[in-house]
Structures are given as C-alpha cells and as structure tokens.
Structure 1
Amino acid sequence: MIRAHALTKRYGGGRRRPRTAVDHLSFEVHPGTVTGFLGPNGAGKSTTMRMLLGLDTPTSGRCTVGGRAYATHSAPLTEVGALLEARSLHPGRSAYQNLMALAHTHGIPRSRVEHVLGVTGLTDVAGRRVKGFSLGMGQRLGIAAALLGDPATLVLDEPVNGLDPEGVLWIRTLLKAQAAEGRTVLISSHLMSEMAVTAHHLIIIGRGRLLADTTVEQFVRESGTGSVKVVSPEATRLAELLAGPGVTVESAAPGTLDVRGADAEHIGRTAAAHAVPLYELTPHTASLEQAFMDLTHHAVEYGTPGATPREAATAREGAAA
C-alpha cells in the first residue's frame, strides 16, 4: 500500500519567489487495483512520485510504500518497481547488460532478467545497445526494469508513452494482471481514453492539492457533464418548459436539443405532461476526459485562451481521433 499524509513540497525562498508544487496532499493507494494518478500539467504529479520514491525530500508530511519510507527498504527493487524516466538506463550498454547491472545490486538471478525481457517483448533485441532503441522499445525496457525485482508495488509515470496500439493493449493487460495478483499499482497518464479502460480508482490533483479520490465509474457518474439528446417537432417549446436552475439546453440543429442537468425520465415526463411529441430521447454518458476537464479547468497552468472546458475536451478528442 502507498500512503501520503499531508505531503508538501515547496521550492524557492530567499531571492527566489517560493513555489508550492505539492500542498498538504493526502491519499492512499490500495493493493489489488489499478489506481490512476491524474492532473493537469504542473499539478504536482511527478513531484509527488519523486517524493514517494525518495528522490525528492518533502518540505513537510510523509509518504510510505509498504508501510515504510522508500529509502529504508533494504532491497527496494524487490519492494517497489518504478518508471519515471525510461531513458535513464545506460545508452552504451545493451538491454540485457542494463538489466543485469540492476540485478547484481539485489542478487536477482539471470533467469529473472531473461523472464522480464520475454514479458516485455525484448528478447530478440536484448543484445542491442539502448542508444539505438526507439521510444517504444526504451519504454518497454524501463518497464522491464520496474518488473525486475517482482515487486509488490508498481509506480509508473506515463507507461504508455511511445507505445504503438499493440503495446498500449499489452501494458493495459499487464497492469491489470499485476493488480489481480494483489499488487499495488499507481500509474499516471495524460491519455484519458486509456485511463478509462485501465484504471479502476482515481486520484486527481490540481495545483498540488487533492481534487478527487474515487472510482472511475463514480467520478464520471457524478460529474454532471452527461447530456440527453432530444428530437421533437416542438423542440423550441420543450426547451422553454425544461428551462430552470441547473438545466442547460442547447440546440445543435432544428428540432434537436442537447439537454444537461435533467435526466431522460424528467424530460420524458415533462414532454408527456404538455403533450409534446418526442421522436428521440437518448442519454449520453460523460466521458472521463469531459469529467476531468470540468473538474480541473480552474487548476490548469497552461490553458487554451477563450476555450471552455467542454470545447477543450472536444478539441482533444478530435485530435486523438
């Protein structure tokens, strides 16, 4: 299990303007599930992960992995597998040599090195120097290093970065399998579509503070960004009947309404009560990306000028397509 309690990290001071990267952040990551760690750029995700792994010292607060601070583990590779920067391995050594160098520090047998090379699909290129690896191959090698000690906890920053579609499916299946075996799995990613089908639980931060700690299903359900498509020959009249606090009605085309803040049952009952014919009444569940954008738009450090959260999410979805 991973625990963070009142974790705070400040930079600067003296002549430099102080900056708080992480601000009294508390959360728990439980074994047996894949937990997504989300936040806009500059939210403090990487800083938090670095503190979890003992690479940065908290200004205040504390964090533990498996009940202990990372630095106190006598054999950390067998306790925590981490991927923060895939290119941190020696470029002049082969994939096999890099993994064997790590294995020697913990007395890990050669058979385990060969095993993780096979798991990550690198057996055929194990003898090649890392400097010649593509981004995706380097990412696979970083994941192999994280798996080397067969750890109880995995902390992975952007694990699908540089992977092709087959590789993305592979890492998704791998992470779910690791969690199913009872391991604690914490991953960060900017790909909301992938996080929606990989993670079960979410920890979302913005400007270093906790914004949400919930399941993916509950977060999307309670986001309030879902809509109902309504088609009626009396759409204008129905829009007037539905108008009220918390209800937004937009017309995408003549006779068609996009209603937010009212569910299909309420819309149907209102239409029936006033004898308004309906040709279509279709609920649309919000995507994880839409819910995320609505929650974090106020915490974005570098946003698109003039874009609403919904417009930004639509633009991102269009670019991904």
Structure 2
Amino acid sequence: MIEAHALSKRYGERVAVSDLSFTVRPGAVTGFLGPNGAGKSTTMRMILGLDAPTSGQVTVNGRRYADHPAPLHEVGAMLEARAIHTGRSARNHLLALAATTGIPRRRVDEVIDTVGLQDAARTRVGRFSLGMGQRLGIATALLGDPATLVLDEPVNGLDPEGVLWIRTLLKDLAAEGRTVLLSSHLMSEMALTAEHLIIIGRGRLIADTSVSEFVRATPGGSVRVRCDDAVALTALLAGPDVDVAALGGGVLEVTGLTSERIGRIAAQHAIALSELTPQQASLEQAFMELTRDDVEFRPPARDLDPAPVPTSEGQPA
C-alpha cells in the first residue's frame, strides 16, 4: 500500500505538489493521471525517495522507502526505462542488481522469461529498440518480486502484442494482491487496464475514484438513435445546444439531449425508433473535461486567416 499524507514539494518559488493526500491500495491497478506539469513525476520520485518532500510524507507498506532494509523486495519501479548502462547486456544488468540486493541468479532468468527477452538477454542494451528497453525496465521492476509496483509510461514503444502483454501482466499482479500504481498518457489503454484513478492537476488532487464512477459522472455522452425518418427527426431535435450527426442507414448520433427526451419527441411525432442507446463518455473525454482548467501548457491559438500570397516582387499581395 502507498499512502501520501499532505505531500508538498517546492522548487524555489515553483510549487510542484501541494498538500496531496491519497492511498493506493493492493488488489487493483491504480491509474495515476494528470496533464503535463501536474506533478506526477515529482510525486512518484517522492514515493521512491528520490526527492525529499518539502512537507508531508509518503510511505510504502507502512515505511518510507529509504527505511526498508531491502527496498527492491518491497517496491519495484520504472521511472525511466532506458536509464541503464548501454554497454551491458540485459542479463548482466539484472545480474548486477541481483548480486547487490541478495536476489538469487535464478530470479534473473525468471524475469527475463516473464518479459519475453530470452533471445535478447545477452545483447547490449545500447542496441535495444524502445520496446525492448521498456521490457527490460519492467524486468528490473519485477526483479525483487515486490509487493508494490510504481511504473511510469510502461507501454511506450510496445507493439500491440506487447501492450496486451503488459495489460494482462499488471492485472494478474494486482489480482495476486499487489499494489500497482501506473502512470500513462494513453487514455484508451488506461481505460482497459486500471480499476481506480488518482488524478492531479497543478500539484493538487482533483479526483480519487473508480474508473467506472469517474466516467459515469461525466457529462458529454451521446445517444445513438436509429429510425425510419432520420431527416424529420433531425429537424425536430435541432436546437442551440444540440448536435445531431447523421451516420447513415437511418442512424443518428445526438449530443445535448437525453435518451428520454429524444424518445418523447419521437413519440409525439409518431416517429418509430428501432434503437435508442445512450453512449457513455470515454475516459479520455472525462479526463479532458475534468482537467481543462489545470492544463499548464497550451498550444498557441491557430491563425485561421489564409497566409498572404507573395507577389512577383516578393511582397504580400
């Protein structure tokens, strides 16, 4: 279990994390989300004792990370998968870690098999692809057979088979009763992997909830409608805050009205409906809605005016 209590971190005048409290419980994959600059990396570094909090504290299984006599047996982490000596082979990298932490050599072969690096185990890390580097980073996190895992962007660079593999692995580890904290910007993958979410913005907690509750509580879902007279129904549903998209075959996607309201309008005008299905907002939509006021970095507004066309003298026309 990971427990953060009133955790804060300042770098000079800049506040990276402010009065942040949360608990990551065993038995479920917990997603750790936030816009760029939200304080996710700083928080994970404080969990692992790499940064000292300005105030507050964070413990793993009841102790600060530095107070564990054998930290790799308690917490497995991957914050930067490629932070490995490029001249070493994958196996030698893991053997060196095992030798310094009392981990038997057989465990090295076990994690190499787990992450699928058998054929590349004796290859120098400098020759690894991004995906192979990610697999080695995950092997490093698993080496001590820890009760707690902290992983930052573990699916980066993985092919579809690799993404499915890491998703299944993390769910299986959580099902064994381990604590799994997962940070990622891939909302579609987070929706398939995580059961619980901790979301921060500008260093503060803005949500601590299950994935299903978070998405269900977010407005902005649409309603899928199928009828015999889509043109007439479109005209009847039109309004200033209503968007109706024709998908073909008599199917409409309606945003801005509930399914109950659409059904009443159709019934009042004797338009038969063969489908009326609410479409829940996606995790990505819910996340964007929640964090829109907490985004630190925004792209500049695009100028929609066409660029001036140069004349033969090189001046704009």
- What TM-score range do you get, normalising by the shorter chain? 0.7 to 0.9
Q: In structure 2, what is the equivalent of residue 187 of structure 1?
A: 182
Instruction: Determine the structure 2 residue equivalent to 1:266.
Output: 261
**1:246-292: CA deviation from partner (whole Å, max 9, x where unpaired):** xx3113359986544543123213442x3352545332221111111
Point out the more displaced range, 274-283 or 27-36.
274-283
Q: Which among 63, 67, 88 is matched to residue 72 of structure 1?
A: 67
How far did residue 232 of structure 1 move? 5.3
Q: Is the 8 A contact 2:243 2:256 kept in 1?
A: no
Match of 1:317 in 2: none
**What's the offset of the Cα at 1:64?**
0.5
The 8 Å contact of residues 21 and 44 in structure 1, kept in 2 or not, is answered as yes
Query: How far did 1:95 drift?
Result: 0.8
Instruction: Identify which range, 108-117 or 259-268, moves more after superposition.
Output: 259-268
Show the counterpart of 1:237.
236
Aligned match of 1:224: 219
Distance 1:304 1:225 in 2: 24
Amino acid at match of 1:143: I
Shift of the 137–120 alpha-carbon distance from structure 1 to 2, 3 Å rule, reads same
Aligned partner of residue 87 in structure 1, secondary structure: coil
Q: Is the 8 A contact 1:143 1:159 kept in 2?
A: yes
Determine if the alignment matches structure 1 residue 30 to structure 2 residue 29. no
Q: Higher Cα Rg: structure 1 or 2?
A: 2
Equivalent runs, 1:1-150 vs 2, <5 Å: 1-12=1-12, 18-150=13-145
Q: How has the CA–CA distance of structure 1 residues 287 and 306 changed in structure 2, closer, same or farther, with 3 Å as cutoff?
A: farther
Query: What per-residue deviation string (whole Å, max 9, x for no partner) do you get for residues 215-263 of structure 1?
Result: 11111111112111444514333335xx7xxxx3113359986544543
More helix by share: 1
Structure 2 letter corresponding to 1:5? H
Tell me if the contact between 1:224 and 1:261 (Cα under 8 Å) persists in the aligned partners. Answer: no
Q: TM-score if structure 2 supplies the norm length?
A: 0.88
The runs of 5 or more residues in structure 2 that have no matched partner are 303-317
Please tell me the residue identity of whatever aligns with 1:161: N
Deviates more, 1:296-305 or 1:227-236: 227-236
Q: Give the letter for the 2:5 counterpart.
A: H
CA contact (8 A) 2:29 2:171 kept: yes
CA distance in 2, matches of 1:103, 1:285: 47
1:92 is paired with a residue whose SS is coil
- Residue range with higher mean Cα deviation, 22-31 or 255-264: 255-264
Q: What are the residue-to-residue correspondences of 1:272-311 with 2, within 5 Å?
A: 272=267, 274-275=268-269, 277-279=271-273, 281-305=276-300
Q: Which whole-Å CA distance do the structure 1 matches of 2:47 and 2:66 have between them?
A: 10
Output the amino acid matched with 1:144.
A
Alpha-carbon spacing, 1:199–1:234, altered in 2? closer, same or farther (3 Å): closer
Partner Cα distance (2:3, 2:300) in 1: 37
Partner of 1:299: helix, strand, or coil? coil
The separation in 1 between residues aligned to 2:284 and 2:167, in whole angstroms, is: 18
Listed one character per residue, the Cα deviations across residues 56-102 of structure 1 (whole Å, up to 9, x for unaligned) are: 01111110011110010000000000000111121111111110111
Structure-2 separation of matches of 1:276 and 1:71: 70
Q: How many residues align?
A: 295
Paired letter, 2:109: E
CA contact (8 A) 2:214 2:286 kept: yes
User: Which residue is 2:244 aligned to?
Assistant: 251
d(CA) in 2 for partners of 1:229 and 1:145?
A: 46
Assess, with a 3 A threshold, how the Cα gap between structure 1 residues 304 and 256 changes in structure 2: closer, same or farther: farther
Cα separation, 2, equivalents of 1:238 and 1:141: 55
Q: Which amino acid aligns with 1:152?
A: A
Counting only pairs closer than 5 Å after superposition, residues 164-175 of structure 1 correspond to structure 2 as 164-175=159-170
Three-state SS of the structure 2 residue aligned to 1:88 is coil
Tell me by how many angstroms 1:110 deviates. 0.5
75-84 or 279-288: bigger deviation: 279-288
